[in-house]
Structure 1
Amino acid sequence: MILTFALFIPWLGALALAVLNGWTQGQARRVAAASAGLSLLALVFAWLGFNPDGPLFQHIDEVSWVPSLGVAYRVGADGIALAVATMSAVLFVAAIFYPVETRGQPRQYYAWLLFLQGAALGVFLTLDLLLFYVFFDLTLVGMFFLIGRWGHGEAQTAALKFFLYTFAGSLLLLLGIIGLYLSLETPTFDMRVLIAEQPLAGTGTYAGLVFLALMLGLAIKTPLVPLHTWLPQAHVDAPGPASAILAGVLLKLGTFGMIRLPLAMMAETFATYALPVAILALVAILYGALVALGQANLKRRIAYTSINHMGYTVLGIAVAASLLTDNPAARQLALTGATVEMVAHGLITGALFLISGSFWQRTGDYALDHYGGLAYQAPLLTGFTVLAAFASLGMPGLAGFVAEFQVFTGTFAIYPWLAVLGVLGILVTAALFLDMLRRLFFGRLPTNLGHFPELSRREWSVLGVLSLGIVVIGVYPRFLLTLIDASSAILVGGR
């Protein structure tokens, strides 16, 4: 029942905020933080109770729902799901605590955040394919309202574009799910059955079309180039905490879905198309980094680095799917690295978007050229931004390095030329973050900027927790790798 508790306690908190009036800003935030915190605590207990030597899925709850269709309430988690779900819960707690202008509607704002947390955790924890789709779609609703009602600039346009674009991807995903369902002799939406039976192994064109539908739907969510155009504007116009959730959690629904659906359920078909997927990932790595380097808007620059980093994740997944060489150790390493990249990117880019929210709260401006010299006025803000930037560019001793090293080591063993070209993305990423730090914090302070307030206690407390996670994973990743390795070994056939 522990995963059921983690899944539904945020929705109970959201329901309380939605139906009961009279909440002050502080009261609404505390209720939301308590709900999100209890969900996080449940996931921590599930992590501690997970047996790496046990079966792939553990902590299973199952209740029959629509037996005639093979639909049931099924939740359970492997090490990959637990790692990503726990990171997501941490980020939701951080987003709830972080200061934001709720425009006189704190009850509604925090209710939508909790609704979004429940839906996102549902994607990671469900073992029913139909429920996976339901939760996947519900996340669109929560983020649509967070951007449209509490964003700035052309927020409503950005929210509508986000919803329509990603909803189109969801419909493609639904077609792929129906194709998987109909491929079974005894149709069921039980993910465990689909993983065990591999019903589309060696079925040619039909399997290829199902794989294409799944991958297109998930690639839009990730997003992969050229299906990324909804992302930058959604980030720029969303409030800082919503941007942190969008990048840190919702993008992971795409990459996690690639692991849970095509990689786990269509291993033979994915192996056939692994190289084209890996090439698309390389394009995302290089394109995301190069375009980010050219951005003069702080949030837009960070948004394009997310495209770059999701490229690393997809590259690791594609390498794990490849059967070009009989090297399960390298494939397992790449899949573990892809999962660590999801966790690291969530913490790192989540922190960067929260920091960008602090800039907006103080000046209402994201233009890099309008800043400079802030290291003298805001040393704490400078320190946290430097740490997150260095982690994002893959500095050893920080979380980003652990993930990227594993992804590129595994890739080099399977597709060495892709690994060599992909490393160029790291060089460009280093350049864009160093340039960002120089323009924000060093040089002369612009005369029109005036006094720039230092981080408040709530801001530096939240950023301190995220930074601690970044450093701990970078220095002592064993606790995370032990959880992930067992599941990645089973998925690539190394155990």
Structure 2
Amino acid sequence: MNYLTLIMAIPLVGAALIATLPQTKSLLAKQMALGTTLIAAVATILMTVKFERANTDLQFVESYDWIKSFGIKYAVGVDGIALVLILMTALLTPIVVLAGWNESDNGRWSTKTFYILILVLQTMSFGVFAATDVFLFYVFFEAMLVPVYFLIGGYGSGERTAAAVKFLLYSLFGGLLMLASIIGLYVLSGEQGGHTFNIAALSQLEMSSTTQNFLFLGFFIAFAIKAPLFPFHTWLPDAAKSATPGTSVLLLGVLDKVGTFGMIRYCLALFPEATKTFTPAIITLSVISIVYGAFLAIGAKDIKRLIAYTSISHFGFITLGIFAMTTQGHSGATLYMFNHGFSTAALFLVAGWMISRRGSSTIADFGGLQRVTPVMAWSFFIAGMSSLALPGLSSFVSEFLVLVGTFTRYPVAAVIATFGIVLAALYVLIPVQRALHGPTTPGNENLADLNLREKLAIAPVIAVIVFLGFYPAPALNIINPAAAHVLSQIGFTDPVPTHGGK
């Protein structure tokens, strides 16, 4: 059993063991879930250490016949892009378990069910980033919807049922479009030598431009819904507001990355000519997402909706970097996915603690927290500055690479996207000023600061944000070779710089 199969098996084994516990053993279920996710994190770190950074081939490859009559295989492998996203998932999940120690207590179902869902979702997330068989990817892609649906609908708050149904319907619609494209690829492969779902073989198929365009759209719309990219984003604010903070971290920090990862792994690799055809439109949608998401965030009155709207803007940057078709843009987009996972985790976790103490998610109800809860306030401030892409924090490096990489090919889009940074200053600094500074709002005088468990949960998130802000080389050394390889495989090269107009 190689590393990829091992890290996918660990959460499933943990979920099975928790399922055997009596309903009354809530504390033991939490402890077992935390232990399981920590073991998976250690295994993933060991895999990362063994990863050969200069090797652009897929590593930790494993392939077995699954449904032989249809050419379907259990086939997994990772490059640098998939590896950093698997690592992000492995690191965030134990943090979510520790930070949301009491999130399951008021749910419709038992505590052990909550943690079973978390662990199953972790396995599905590992699988979707590791799959190299398109049908296997689709199975993981759709299966991960199930635990998220029950996490939102069973353990969320407010209009949780409506939010869960909306999330599921949007995702299933996109999945059906992608399934139609997968079937189309399967039929084409049978006409050109033999039925297969292997991504390397499918990338060599000959297709007319019309066929390639239609198949591309099936994949892209599914990924744009998942990402989410304007105008497919409307499910996100409701889901983020209704879900528990930990579920929101997994939803925006991990699940949504499947969309932008899928654009790289499938849209670009399988349909290079269609990619060139649709790139101007996608660049336009990305820029709209950046600006539109920022304006929505500026007007948000609910803190969880605010964070969701900022993510719409951030995913606009990620998609912009992907379709800029430059090595800097691709490296920046992948690093952005990793960094966004941690900055969003910090925002949602601290916001969740603020909401649980105050009993309200309205930004106006928080005021003067700097005086009352200094550790919580500073944690929220650092998370906000990371979302703002302040120099010295991790998001700055990735956003800078995206903008520089985009400017070399699409200068107008890069200039407009840069305006999003100005808007980010507004949607971050205004709520920070209202929630942390100024006079203490009545009702906040006796709020408790972070306890030891919460400090232990938020400390590694802040550490990653600061460390990669000053020294992003460890992540970029893994990402850069894979990003350059993706572009070379689909026939793109970086624009040649001009000097003095010569």
TM-score (norm 1): 0.95
Post-superposition shift, 1:24? 2.8
| Residue 101 (structure 1) aligns with | 103
Write the deviation string for residues 432-480 of structure 1: whole angstroms up to 9, x where unpaired: 1000101111111122334111011111111110010111111111110
2:148 corresponds, among 143, 146, 149, to: 143
Post-superposition shift, 1:54? 2.2
Q: Give yes or no for the alignment of 1:127 onto 2:132.
A: yes
Post-superposition shift, 1:255? 0.5
Alignment check: 8 A CA contact 1:43 1:86 kept: yes
Post-superposition shift, 1:349? 0.5
Give the letter aligned to residue 102 of structure 2.
Answer: V
Write the deviation string for residues 158-193 of structure 1: whole angstroms up to 9, x where unpaired: 111111111111111111222222222222111222
Alignment check: 8 A CA contact 1:282 1:311 kept: yes
Write the deviation string for residues 280-329 of structure 1: whole angstroms up to 9, x where unpaired: 01010000001110001100000000100000110011112xxxxxxxxx
Whole-Å separation in 1 of the counterparts to 2:126 and 2:356: 29
Alignment check: 8 A CA contact 1:100 1:240 kept: no
**Any idea what SS the aligned residue of 2:53 has?**
coil
List 4+ stretches of structure 1 deviating above 3 A: none
Give the letter aligned to residue 41 of structure 2.
Answer: L
Alignment check: 8 A CA contact 1:100 1:241 kept: no
Give the letter aligned to residue 348 of structure 2.
Answer: F
Whole-Å separation in 1 of the counterparts to 2:282 and 2:472: 28
2:362 corresponds, among 345, 363, 367, to: 367
Once structures 1 and 2 are overlaid, which stretch shifts more, 275-284 or 167-176?
167-176
Aligned residues: 482
Alignment of 1:320-469 (within 5 A): 320=325, 331-469=326-464
Give the letter aligned to residue 190 of structure 1.
Answer: N
Give the letter aligned to residue 27 of structure 2.
Answer: G
Post-superposition shift, 1:55? 4.0
1:182 corresponds, among 169, 183, 187, to: 187
**Any idea what SS the aligned residue of 2:73 has?**
strand
**Any idea what SS the aligned residue of 2:369 has?**
coil
| Residue 201 (structure 2) aligns with | 193
Write the deviation string for residues 75-121 of structure 1: whole angstroms up to 9, x where unpaired: 11000000011011111111111133322622111111001111111
Whole-Å separation in 2 of the counterparts to 1:145 and 1:491: 36
**Any idea what SS the aligned residue of 1:74 has?**
strand
| Residue 262 (structure 1) aligns with | 267
1:299 corresponds, among 301, 304, 329, to: 304
| Residue 324 (structure 1) aligns with | none
Whole-Å separation in 2 of the counterparts to 1:54 and 1:367: 49
Give the letter aligned to residue 178 of structure 1.
Answer: I
Whole-Å separation in 1 of the counterparts to 2:167 and 2:140: 17
| Residue 489 (structure 1) aligns with | 484
Write the deviation string for residues 125-171 of structure 1: whole angstroms up to 9, x where unpaired: 11111110111111110111111111011111111111111111111
Q: Give yes or no for the alignment of 1:478 onto 2:479.
A: no
Alignment of 1:96-245 (within 5 A): 96-98=97-99, 99-103=101-105, 105-184=110-189, 185=192, 186-195=194-203, 197=204, 199-200=205-206, 203-245=208-250
**Any idea what SS the aligned residue of 2:442 has?**
coil
Once structures 1 and 2 are overlaid, which stretch shifts more, 241-250 or 51-60?
51-60
| Residue 497 (structure 2) aligns with | none
Whole-Å separation in 1 of the counterparts to 2:105 and 2:402: 43
Whole-Å separation in 2 of the counterparts to 1:45 and 1:435: 42
Give the letter aligned to residue 479 of structure 2.
Answer: I
Coordinate RMSD, CA, aligned = 1.4
Once structures 1 and 2 are overlaid, which stretch shifts more, 356-365 or 422-431?
356-365
Whole-Å separation in 1 of the counterparts to 2:387 and 2:475: 18
Alignment check: 8 A CA contact 1:71 1:189 kept: yes
Instruction: Specify every segment of 5 or more residues in structure 2 that has no aligned partner in the other structure, as ranges.
Output: 495-502
- Identity between Structure 1 and Structure 2 (%): 36
Whole-Å separation in 2 of the counterparts to 1:285 and 1:100: 35
Alignment check: 8 A CA contact 1:180 1:200 kept: no
TM-score (norm 2): 0.94
Give the letter aligned to residue 351 of structure 1.
Answer: A
Once structures 1 and 2 are overlaid, which stretch shifts more, 113-122 or 361-370?
361-370
Whole-Å separation in 1 of the counterparts to 2:321 and 2:159: 35
Whole-Å separation in 2 of the counterparts to 1:356 and 1:39: 27
Whole-Å separation in 1 of the counterparts to 2:391 and 2:188: 46
Whole-Å separation in 2 of the counterparts to 1:378 and 1:123: 40
| Residue 56 (structure 1) aligns with | 57
Whole-Å separation in 2 of the counterparts to 1:227 and 1:138: 20
Alignment check: 8 A CA contact 2:372 2:444 kept: no
Alignment check: 8 A CA contact 1:3 1:42 kept: no
In structure 2, do the counterparts of structure 1 residues 68 and 307 end up closer, same or farther at CA, with 3 Å as the change threshold? same
Give the letter aligned to residue 304 of structure 2.
Answer: K
Whole-Å separation in 1 of the counterparts to 2:334 and 2:56: 19
Give the letter aligned to residue 283 of structure 1.
Answer: I
Instruction: Specify every segment of 5 or more residues in structure 1 that has no aligned partner in the other structure, as ranges.
Output: 321-330
Give the letter aligned to residue 294 of structure 1.
Answer: G
Give the letter aligned to residue 36 of structure 1.
Answer: T
| Residue 10 (structure 2) aligns with | 9
Post-superposition shift, 1:44? 1.3
Whole-Å separation in 2 of the counterparts to 1:391 and 1:354: 14
Whole-Å separation in 2 of the counterparts to 1:19 and 1:217: 36
Whole-Å separation in 1 of the counterparts to 2:243 and 2:280: 35
